[in-house]
Amino acid sequence: MSGKPFYVTTPIYYVNDKPHLGHAYTTVATDAKARFHRLRGEPARMLTGTDEHGQKLEQAAAEAGRDPFAFATENSEKFKALWKKLNIAYDDYIRTTEERHKTGVQEIWRRAEATGDIYKGEYEGKYCVSCENFLTDLQLDEGKCPDCGRPADPVREESYFFRLSKYQEPLLELYERNPRFIQPDSRRNEIVSFVSGGLRDLSVSRTSFKWGVPVPGDPAHVIYVWFDALSNYATAAGFGQGGFPADTAWPADQHFIGKDILRFHSVYWPAFLMSAGLPLPGQVYSHGWWTVEGQKMSKSLGNAVDPHWLIEEYGVDAIRYFILREIPFGADGDFSHHQLIDRVNSDLANDLGNLLYRTLNMVRRYRGGKISRGEGDGGEEARLAGIVREAAARYEAQMEATDLQAGLRTVWEIVSAGNKYIDAAAPWTLAKSGPEDRLDSALYHAGAALRVIAALISPVMPEAADSIARQLGLAGDWLSAPFAELVDLYKMPGGLDTDLGKPLFPRIEEDARAALEERVAARIAAGEGAAPAAPDSEGGGLISIDDFRRVELRSARVEAAEIIPKSKNLLKIEVSLGEERRTVVAGVARHYAPDELVGRTVVVVANLEPVKLMGVESQGMLLAAEDEDGLKLVGVEGGIRPGSRIR
Ligand code: MSP
């Protein structure tokens, strides 16, 4: 028996939507944490899954004309497919539609009911279907949900309530007793003041739709989707009618979540568990939100950070590295391709890639590809060993505290020490004038630093870590050595047959960079085209005339057009809509010369959110049709005043 594993969870994702960057972020962070524990030789258990019940899913399935379970299954598979591509080593994947889960949820309900914490009443108030959240009039922001900004529905129905009010004091005591229960501290303070303000009992069942787990003994009610969803962390650890099995992983050590769902995890969830008499999780870690190129993530911007596409463009490890390195875990941040390319070039290609390449290249040139054990010390070696030792200890503490960004920064201190070490040891001089054992020692130390680096980046960049190990000639099971050995320079065996291979992270040069930024712009533009009518429904569900009317189409006259520098297909087009002039960026340069366009009447989508494409703000979109022979802009027959509405 290896004892209770470090049990760490992601939120379970709603399946009305396909996975996006935000989901990838939470999941990669959780995976990195689990892998860090495994690296230290501790058993770890990572759980993820999908949240498949509730009104939102029922509605989304109905709109797509699908059966809710089939619809959920299809989307749940999309999450699984992305996790595979992102190298997520989860141990369990729970779907709330599974039997093992439903039985467990009902058991938590029964226990809370037996405690006297569940009573029947009537709920009258507002409900945000998108957040699956009950809202009071006070919480509403001009009738809209304060979290997502969508209109909230009025609801009046019979409902069971959970005596949340009873848990105000016990929750405050919990936050007091375990000050790290909620992380980061700023979030903890928010929750403490929220709970201190008093808690109202919570509606925990719905009667106006069917798609959920039935309330035990009263099947006219389905259990509120958040009661259902939160329970997944326990049901996946085996909680059912008989309680937890003896070898359960519960309690979870850490729940990773985004800040938008902190209240559910740090207030409702521990209260439900207390009521059911079950042990509480150790910590809820709430991370920040990503904007994309400086703006809130929308459908079209989401298209430019589609995780599948990002992985194809940059490689899985570059993405995993970037999202964890770019912003402190817990803070909000901006995803910009520009920044991403800079990071790939500086940290991955220049610093790490270069250390690996120059080391192995010298091993090949001076020693026929073999690293021998060399311990000769000219003082530089002891210095390097000291830096590695200190940095590895600091890294361990930072990763333990889930300061993933700091952990990575610390590894890069070793990378930079490795590069400096090579400069100081100057193997190229030793190769000319000896002594021979100093040359062996220099190559050994550079290689040994790389082995430590590979181990320490493995939670975040598992593929790159393996590839470095393979190039160094380490055995296949290199990573299973005890942590203390992995971070000890001198535990690297000698006599290694290295393999220079191709550069691990090639630099993204100027040309490739311009082409990439152009692809980003094209994806944003394509996302915009797809957005208004048929959001995700591949089957192309019907829309109402009102949906169509929301799209403001206007005629416009092209006043000027020019190629955007460095772009191959984008034109910056000035159009007049009568009184108003707009700048529109359109991907039509392959089909039209700028001069050909001036004076034409085109059709513009006039109420799109503006977006920056290759540095130019685009304030609308031109309509065009495309077939194998090319692309043709849509116009208006005969003369029409610029700015006329098109219906
Ligand atoms: N189903 C609930 C969770 C139930 S857990 C018992 C849910 N699902 S979700 O699919 O909407 O979101 C899951 C996670 O994605 C949340 O942690 C959320 O913070 C994260 N993100 C969604 N958009 C995000 C960004 N733009 N940036 C970072 N994370 C974001 O909520």
DSSP notation for 518-579: HHHHHHHHHHHHHSSS-SS-TT-----HHHHHTS-EEEEEEEEEEEPTT-SS-EEEEEEETT
The pLDDT assigned to 567 comes to 72
Task: Choose one of 17, 25, 147 to mutate for the ligand 1 pocket test, by most ligand atoms within 8 angstroms of C-beta.
Answer: 25
What phi and psi, each to the nearest 5 degrees, are found at residue 573? -120, 130
| Cα gap 252→44, rounded to integer Å | 11
The pLDDT assigned to 590 comes to 83
Atom of ligand 1 nearest to the CA of 290: 27
Task: Choose one of 12, 55, 224, 261 to mutate for the ligand 1 pocket test, by most ligand atoms within 8 angstroms of C-beta.
Answer: 261
The pLDDT assigned to 564 comes to 85
78-100 burial code (b ≥16 CB/10 A, e <16): bbbebbeebbbebbebbbbbbee
147 lines ligand 1 (CB under 6 A): no
Average pLDDT, whole number, for the chain? 92
Confidence of residue 395 (pLDDT cuts 50, 70, 90): very high
Confidence of residue 548 (pLDDT cuts 50, 70, 90): confident
The pLDDT assigned to 74 comes to 96
| Cα gap 338→431, rounded to integer Å | 41
The pLDDT assigned to 528 comes to 62
- Least reliable range by pLDDT among 101-115, 149-163, 370-384: 370-384
By alpha-carbon position, which residue is closest to atom 16 of ligand 1?
A: 258
Confidence of residue 534 (pLDDT cuts 50, 70, 90): very low
pLDDT in tens, 311-349: 999 999 999 999 999 999 999 999 999 999 999 999 999
Cα of 545 vs centre of ligand 1, distance in Å, is 32
Mean pLDDT confidence for 446-473: 98
Three-state SS for 143? coil
Task: Choose one of 15, 26, 82 to mutate for the ligand 1 pocket test, by most ligand atoms within 8 angstroms of C-beta.
Answer: 26
229 lines ligand 1 (CB under 6 A): yes
Atom of ligand 1 nearest to the CA of 229: 6
Pair 555, 601: CB distance under 8 Å: yes
460 lines ligand 1 (CB under 6 A): no
Mean pLDDT confidence for 209-217: 96
The pLDDT assigned to 376 comes to 75
14 lines ligand 1 (CB under 6 A): yes
Cα of 128 vs centre of ligand 1, distance in Å, is 16
For residue 406, pLDDT over 70 is answered with yes
Whole-model pTM?
0.85
Cα of 418 vs centre of ligand 1, distance in Å, is 39
Cα of 125 vs centre of ligand 1, distance in Å, is 25
Residue 120 vs residue 531, higher pLDDT = 120
Mean pLDDT confidence for 34-50: 98
Confidence of residue 541 (pLDDT cuts 50, 70, 90): low
Mean pLDDT confidence for 125-134: 93
| Cα gap 21→527, rounded to integer Å | 15
The pLDDT assigned to 533 comes to 35
For residue 530, pLDDT over 60 is answered with no
The pLDDT assigned to 535 comes to 39
Mean pLDDT confidence for 465-487: 97
Percent of the chain residues topping a pLDDT of 70: 97
pLDDT in tens, 562-594: 988 877 778 899 999 988 999 998 888 888 999
Helix H or strand E segment including 95: strand 92-95
Cα of 92 vs centre of ligand 1, distance in Å, is 19
Cα of 20 vs centre of ligand 1, distance in Å, is 10
Task: Choose one of 260, 262, 291 to mutate for the ligand 1 pocket test, by most ligand atoms within 8 angstroms of C-beta.
Answer: 260
By alpha-carbon position, which residue is closest to atom 9 of ligand 1?
A: 13
pLDDT in tens, 418-456: 999 999 999 999 999 988 899 999 999 999 999 999 999
- Burial, 379: exposed, middle or buried (Cβ in 10 Å; 0-12, 13-18, 19+)? exposed
Atom of ligand 1 nearest to the CA of 257: 17
Q: At what angle do helices 316-326 and 21-39 cross, to 10 degrees?
A: 90
261 lines ligand 1 (CB under 6 A): yes
Q: How far is CA 363 from the centre of its chain?
A: 39
13 lines ligand 1 (CB under 6 A): yes
